[in-house]
Amino acid sequence: MRLRLRYPRSFPSLLLSGFILVALPLLAGIAAMTYTLDRMALEGRRSVNITAEVTSAAQRLAEAGVTLQRAAGQYFVLEDAALKDRLDLAHHRFSTSVTDLQGMPVGADLQRRLDDVADQEATLVTRLWAARSPGGEEFDAFKPDFDRLHDAVFAVRDEAGRLVQRRAAAMSEAAARVERIMIGQALAVILLSLLLATLLAWLVSRPVQQLAEAIQRLGEDDLVTVTTITGPHDMVYLGEQLDWLRRRLVELEEQKQRFLRHVSHELKTPLAAVWEAAELLTDKVAGGLTDQQEEIVRIMRGSARELKRRIEDLLRFNEAARQPESVTTMAVVLEPLVDEVAARFGLSLRAKNLRLATAISDVRLWADRGRLDTVIENLIANAIRFSPDGGVIEVRAETSDGQARITICDQGPGVPTEDRAYIFQPFYQSAHQPPGTLHGSGLGLAIARANIEAQGGALVLLPPRDEGGACFEISLPCAEKDGSDVA
């Protein structure tokens, strides 16, 4: 089952949905980073509080140890029973400091040291209380015990300092880890946003590109390809309108072709009568003519000949535009065909002192001989029209990859850049015409291309050459040299 992409109903909705979709990863990334920073800040404050409490408690424990020794010394030296309460208070403060440290997350090593300190202090206090009589000599006996207690307390304080250092290092490592995570999240969010932005750009540009291609096809006179647009409903509607325009253009083209056929045939009958009357007057069937009357008859014959040629161009254009079923292809030997066409232009070539240079090896191709004859005739006539006096018209042919390519080049001014995209359109005439020549019908190149495309070939205008002039190339399939049906 194929997954079909569902577009929003309108183009603005597509843009809005796309912007929201692109913004979602950014918002999610910001929220995730904010949560991570809050967690890190909370953990930092907790760790700072713990280290401060551990440091303060360790300091109080050290002070309580000193206070305990001082209270015991005063009790024993001064031999005052009232001072025993101060010794009890110092013992209580020391025990409270140990208990406070034991209730903190200080680790197993420090807990063992605290248990050892508590045991030493309890044993020492018990011995102090059990002394027989206070006195200086009696207190000196406890000095090594107090020294060991102080060493144990200092060891606890040192271990607390190392604990603070470890927590500071752990915080630095956690900060570095969070930084790496945030950088990774930022890169992931940016990458995801770029991917979504690319997807949005594709979704937006796809129907626009399809519309542009459809309009270009219409501009290139492609009225066969159906216009299909995928996208929001308003873009699909535009595609439907373009396809309606395509169908309407097809109808108008058919009407134009019918009109041209009817007009051409309707004009031939009265034109034939005018031509016949001019011939009769030229032959002086109705009697002699004055010089002025003969000049008028010559003008009539010239205008009738030109009108006949243009009507024949219209008929040939209609014939070339007919469906390919009217094409009959066979293996055609190119060289005799080119010679026949060149023979028809003998007078025109001599009038402008032109030379026709051919380079045609034994080329055979599949073509409709009559249509190919028309194409080559039109291209050579076009070359003669634009060639300077004393120039050379080249006709070359070669085969490659199963295709025969016929090139016809002149030495004229070439096709102007602004005309290159339009010269094959019917009735198009460039503003750059040879001096002293009559304007044609603008159908010669259109007839030539239509005839070649009807045979499955191509007629193109080649890029400009350094030596100038215009070059047209005909491409048609090659034929086997041993073919029996050869024209």
Most confident of 143-152, 249-258, 310-319, 455-464: 455-464
> Mind listing the pLDDT tens digit for each residue in 139-167?
677 788 878 878 888 887 787 777 778 77
Task: Output Rg (C-alpha) for the chain, integer angstroms.
Answer: 53
Mean predicted lDDT score pLDDT of the chain:
79
Q: Please tell me whether residues 368 and 472 are part of one structural domain.
A: yes
For residue 72, give the CATH number of its domain.
1.20.120.1730
Helices (H), 136-232: 136-140, 143-219
Tell me whether strands 471-477 and 392-400 are parallel, antiparallel or unpaired.
unpaired
Q: Please tell me whether residues 150 and 109 are part of one structural domain.
A: yes
Q: Which two tokens stand for residue 375?
A: 């194409």
Q: How many CB atoms lie within 10 A of CB 121?
A: 24
Tally of domains within the chain = 3
Q: What is the pTM of this model?
A: 0.49
Cα within 13 Å of Cα(291), Cβ side: 0
Most confident of 35-44, 106-115, 237-246, 441-450: 237-246
- Domain enclosing residue 390, as ranges: 327-477
Helices (H), 79-142: 84-102, 108-129, 136-140
Q: Please tell me whether residues 342 and 264 are part of one structural domain.
A: no
* Band (133; pLDDT cuts 50, 70, 90): low
Q: Please tell me whether residues 367 and 314 are part of one structural domain.
A: no
Q: Please tell me whether residues 44 and 172 are part of one structural domain.
A: yes
> Mind listing the pLDDT tens digit for each residue in 173-197?
877 887 788 788 788 878 887 887 7
For CA atoms 343, 349, 350, 353, the dihedral sign is: negative
Q: What is the dihedral of CA 181, 184, 186, 187, to 10 degrees?
A: 180
Measure CA 77 to chain center.
Answer: 96
Q: Please tell me whether residues 174 and 132 are part of one structural domain.
A: yes
From 320, 347, 369, the end of a domain falls on 320
> Mind listing the pLDDT tens digit for each residue in 462-475?
988 888 888 999 99
Q: Please tell me whether residues 45 and 134 are part of one structural domain.
A: yes
Q: Please tell me whether residues 310 and 362 are part of one structural domain.
A: no
* Residue 4 domain flag: no
Over 70: is that where the pLDDT of 137 sits? no
* Residue 72 domain flag: yes
For residue 367, give the CATH number of its domain.
3.30.565.10
* Residue 293 domain flag: yes
Please report the pLDDT score of residue 5 as a whole number. 56
From 271, 292, 320, the end of a domain falls on 320
* Residue 369 domain flag: yes
Over 60: is that where the pLDDT of 324 sits? no
* Residue 211 domain flag: no
**28 vs 181: CA distance, rounded Å:** 14
From 202, 220, 244, the end of a domain falls on 202
Mean pLDDT of 245-272: 76
Question: Reduced to 3 states, what is the DSSP secondary structure of residue 393?
Answer: strand
Residues 6+ apart with CB under 8 A from 173: none
Residues 6+ apart with CB under 8 A from 484: none
For residue 269, give the CATH number of its domain.
1.10.287
6 DSSP assignment: P
* Residue 222 domain flag: no
* Residue 219 domain flag: no
Mean pLDDT of 96-110: 80
User: Is residue 324 within 8 Å of 277, Cβ to Cβ?
Assistant: no
Please report the pLDDT score of residue 435 as a whole number. 61
Region of poorest pLDDT, from 163-177, 242-256, 437-451, 463-477: 437-451
